[in-house]
C-alpha cells in the first residue's frame, strides 16, 4: 500500500533541492511557518490542499506527482496551473483578506470580462 506521507516527504525534499530555495524562503512563499516546512520534510506532517497548490506553483510540478499519485512530474500540456486555478489559489490565500467593497469591485470586473468574452463569440 502507498505510504503517502513517506512519498510526499521524499518528493518534497527533492523539489526543495531542485528549486534551490531554503526552507525559510519556501515558508515565506507558501505562507506557512518554517517549522511547518521542516515537519513536511521530516514526514511528520502533511500539508493541506491550498498549501499543496502553492507548493506546486513554486516547484513547477503537479500535485499528483508531489503526493505520489503519479510518477509524472510535469503535465505535458502545461507546466503550471490554469489561469482560473491561479485565481482560485490567489483568492484562497490573499483576496479573502480584502474588505468586502474591494471584493465586490473585483467580482464586478470579472463579470464584465465574462460578458465581454461572450459577446466576442
pLDDT tens-digit series, residues 3-55:
889 999 999 999 999 999 999 999 999 999 999 999 999 999 999 998 999 99
Residue 42 lies in a domain: yes
In a domain, 94, yes or no: yes
Residue 49 placed within a domain: yes
Any residues with CB less than 8 A from the CB of 8 and at least 6 apart, and which? 40, 43, 46, 66, 67, 68
The separation between CA 83 and the C-alpha centre of its own chain, rounded to angstroms, equals 13
In this predicted structure, what is the pLDDT of residue 25? 93
As a whole number, mean pLDDT of residues 86-107 equals: 75
Q: Distance from first CA to last CA of the chain, Å, rounded? A: 49
Residue 95 within a domain: yes
Residue 48 included in any domain: yes
pLDDT over 70 at 82, yes or no: no
- 70-80 pLDDT per residue, tens: 888 886 544 44
75 lies in some domain:
no
Judgement on whether residues 16 and 47 belong to the same structural domain of the protein: yes
CA distance 15 to 102: 36
The answer to whether the predicted template modeling score (pTM) of the entire model surpasses 0.75 is no
Pair 66, 55: CB distance under 8 Å: yes
90 and 49 in a single domain? The answer is no
Owning domain of residue 43: 4-66
Amino acid at each position: 500500500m502507498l505510504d503517502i506521507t513517506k512519498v510526499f516527504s521524499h518528493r518534497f525534499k527533492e523539489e526543495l533541492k531542485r528549486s534551490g530555495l531554503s526552507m525559510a524562503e519556501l515558508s515565506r512563499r507558501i505562507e506557512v511557518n518554517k517549522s511547518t516546512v521542516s515537519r513536511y520534510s521530516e514526514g511528520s506532517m502533511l500539508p493541506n490542499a491550498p498549501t499543496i497548490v502553492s507548493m506546486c506553483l513554486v516547484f513547477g510540478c503537479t500535485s499528483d506527482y508531489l503526493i505520489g499519485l503519479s510518477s509524472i512530474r510535469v503535465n505535458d500540456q502545461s507546466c503550471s496551473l490554469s489561469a482560473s486555478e491561479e485565481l482560485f489559489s490567489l483568492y484562497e490565500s490573499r483576496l479573502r483578506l480584502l474588505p468586502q467593497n474591494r471584493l465586490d469591485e473585483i467580482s464586478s470586473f470579472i463579470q464584465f470580462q465574462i460578458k465581454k468574452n461572450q459577446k466576442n463569440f
